[in-house]
Chain A
């Protein structure tokens, strides 16, 4: 694949971003996940990070959340360098950031109500009656007030994600990171989630980061998009600007074209060599 990479000096889309990533490098063993990546997440906006499966989008969220440390570079969230924080400071920061996991990650031994009330019970000393009111408000926001007595195993995929979203906003965070919120959802649920993310972001004054490869849905609500592949930012801009990008890679990805710079085949020896039909150099 011949990715169009120009990550070295990417301009920041807006002043005073909530998150800035500078010269980020991260490897797993010998495999490069990110190499000198720069990006900026503006406050109050929905920023999408898109790219093919396996390009490290979820890893980027985990790096921002401080669950893993970069090999080089710096990630600042609201002015604090995440990987330089002590455990106590990091946990304080995490109380203000939230993450919606791909699976929903609801606690399976707790009901929907208790899942949403969980962060409130853990981090506040509010009386139970107040927690109840707050929990019902969050559940009402995602349309699951009536499902509060259900257990996670009784929920559909979409309902589980909405319940997880209610839990994610329980502490009124400053930002939410969405890890593949639309994957595996039916069109109606997808539409509901798209609307919810946009509405919650605007109503609660959040900053949202959506990691996804569902182009249409994500582009419909994103204010800004970063496209990443092969360890670097391939392109970035508003959805409208990217629509008119001249990059072959961007065009292939956004329009789901089967042919383009992105190779269908995983790197391998030549087909003829593997079938023992030819001698000569093994690599394609």
Chain B
């Protein structure tokens, strides 16, 4: 019993220690933003690798999720003769929840893990230490550009995911299942509010998810034990922790914005 309490205490201490380290790291990132403003090229380069190269998986996943929503929605609504509301179902599901959450999870798997592995390997191969010895701050040159680029890319990817998802739902509902096109779009337009759904849903959520996903990814790379096993563990932690934090944060934000 005492041993269990001790172990729990140790785990809690370790967690707090890492949280403190991650917070200090975040402060370092924010401190490097001023220097980064003078060199937007560093952000643009990372935007390409984190954002543009993530587009295929985001677009494909959005399309399939939207198509599945169209099929599932139709199968349930057809019994009530309410297939005209299918546009609303697809759009609200994507805008409020699935768009930002799934885009964040996919981002963590595609770009977050790559960020962690890249930074971790830079540590293993002494590139970060070398940079420091050259009087170049890795926070300004390596970490902050990646963090900011990922933070910008995340809401854009979530928006693209959502838009393509809606198109996927439209394709299945209207083109395949014969739902009226006018009803699909007009119902959607009438039910989806810009502030209540789009801003509070996909925009704010994806900004919050972008913040934590990139913070975790960059920190895990920075904090990785410089061995092959260390990099592997850090990469795994990035994906697992991002998924857990994004889902927990989604619950909190949903409770705040949409809770009764």
Contacts and interface: CB of A to CB of B under 8 A. Distances in A.
B125 interface: yes
Interface in A175-224: none
A120 B176 CA distance: 60
Nearest to B142: A107
Contacts of B5: none
A122 B125 contact: no
Contacts of A102: 126
B132 A67 contact: yes
A122 B133 contact: no
Interface string B115-145: 0000001100111011011111100010000
Contact of B125 (A92, A97, A103): A103
Nearest to A106: B127
Q: Chain B: interface secondary structure? A: helix
A95 B129 contact: no
By size class, the interface of chain A is 20 to 34
Interface in A112-135: 118-119, 122-123
A91 B135 contact: yes
B135 to A, nearest CB: 4
A65 interface: yes
Nearest to A92: B135
B129 A105 contact: yes
A67 B135 contact: no
Interface residues of B, number: 14
A28 to B, nearest CB: 15
A105 B127 contact: yes
B134 A94 contact: yes
Contacts of B141: 122
Which of B122, B125, B130 lies at the interface centre, i.e. has the most chain A CB atoms within 10 A of its CB? B130
Interface in B89-133: 121-122, 125-127, 129-130, 132-133
B135 A94 contact: yes
Contacts of A108: 121-122, 125, 127
A119 B129 CA distance: 14
A119 B126 contact: no
A67 B134 contact: no
B133 A99 contact: yes
B126 A101 contact: yes
Interface in A57-116: 62, 65, 67, 91-92, 94-95, 97-99, 101-103, 105-108
Contacts of B132: 67, 94
Interface of B: 121-122, 125-127, 129-130, 132-137, 141
The 10 closest A-B pairs by CB, nearest first: A105-B130, A94-B135, A91-B135, A105-B126, A99-B133, A101-B126, A95-B135, A122-B136, A119-B134, A105-B127
Given A67-B133, A106-B127, 6 more contacts: A91-B137, A101-B129, A105-B130, A107-B127, A123-B135, A123-B136
